[in-house]
């Protein structure tokens, strides 16, 4: 029986300039925000204290921006890098042009801005993604440039032929 394993794209399957839209979106709840903030040891009153936040410029608690970033990247995983990433290498730029609030839904899209084969790791290469998150009103709430080390399809086929499938 033929088997099909869900995965993201290999480096050589990605095309620069293509917009990859991720679905579904993710509605961020009050519980999500409080849990993330407390798990990450972030006691910022803007995330946890409704009375304090009501007197601040946005008039309500803000979703922790690190939760917004983590969710934005997470929205892309099943589509782009599930089973094809070797390592997350880093973020070059992260911006939050507008806030997220409890009950907002985050939608993500990713553009591959660059890719190259690794000079030191055969069968792997570096992809640079620009992730953009928008809320339900199409307002941009996050933009992040991220570099990842990825497998090529050739390396995966060779690993499977050798019996070392991932």
Tens place of pLDDT per residue across the chain (166 aa): 988 888 999 999 999 999 999 999 999 999 999 999 999 999 999 999 999 999 999 999 999 999 999 999 999 999 999 999 999 999 999 999 999 999 999 999 999 999 999 999 999 999 999 999 999 999 999 999 999 999 999 886 555 555 554 4
Residue 121 has what pLDDT? 92
Residue 166 has what pLDDT? 47
**166 within domain boundaries:** no
Task: Give the integer Cα–Cα distance in Å for 28 and 25.
Answer: 10
**63 within domain boundaries:** yes
Query: Which of 88, 92, 151 has its CA nearest to residue 117?
Result: 151
CATH number at residue 59: 3.10.129.10
Query: Which of 121, 106, 124 has its CA nearest to residue 25?
Result: 106
Residue 5 has what pLDDT? 83
**69 within domain boundaries:** yes
DSSP three-state, residue 114: strand
**1 within domain boundaries:** no
Q: Please, which residues have CB within 8 angstroms of residue 33's CB and are 6 or more apart in sequence?
A: 47, 61, 63, 64, 67, 102
Positive or negative: CA dihedral 73, 64, 23, 98: negative
Residue 158 has what pLDDT? 54
**24 within domain boundaries:** yes
Q: Which pTM was predicted?
A: 0.91
Residue 159 has what pLDDT? 57
Could you tell me the two tokens for 38?
A: 């407390």
Residue 160 has what pLDDT? 52
**5 within domain boundaries:** no
**3 within domain boundaries:** no
Report the number of distinct structural domains present in the chain: 1
Residue 81 has what pLDDT? 96
| Residue 151 domain boundaries | 11-161
Q: Please, which residues have CB within 8 angstroms of residue 25's CB and are 6 or more apart in sequence?
A: 75, 105, 106, 107, 108, 136
Residue 3 has what pLDDT? 85
pLDDT tens sequence across 58-95: 999 999 999 999 999 999 999 999 999 999 999 999 99
């Amino acid at each position: 029986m033929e088997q099909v394993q869900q995965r993201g794209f290999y480096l050589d399957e990605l095309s620069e300039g293509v917009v990859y839209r991720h679905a579904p979106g993710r509605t961020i709840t009050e519980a999500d925000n409080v849990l993330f903030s407390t798990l990450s040891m972030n006691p910022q009153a803007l995330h946890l204290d409704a009375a304090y936040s009501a007197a601040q410029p946005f008039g309500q608690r803000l979703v922790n921006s690190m939760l917004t970033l983590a969710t934005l990247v997470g929205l892309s995983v099943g589509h782009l890098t599930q089973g094809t990433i070797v390592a997350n290498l880093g973020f070059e730029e992260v911006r939050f042009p507008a806030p997220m609030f409890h009950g907002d839904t985050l939608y993500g899209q990713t553009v591959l801005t660059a890719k190259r084969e690794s000079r030191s790791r055969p069968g792997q290469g570096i992809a640079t993604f620009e992730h953009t998150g928008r809320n339900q009103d199409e307002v941009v709430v996050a933009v992040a440039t991220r570099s990842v080390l990825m497998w090529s399809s050739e390396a995966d086929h060779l690993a499977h032929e050798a019996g070392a499938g991932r």
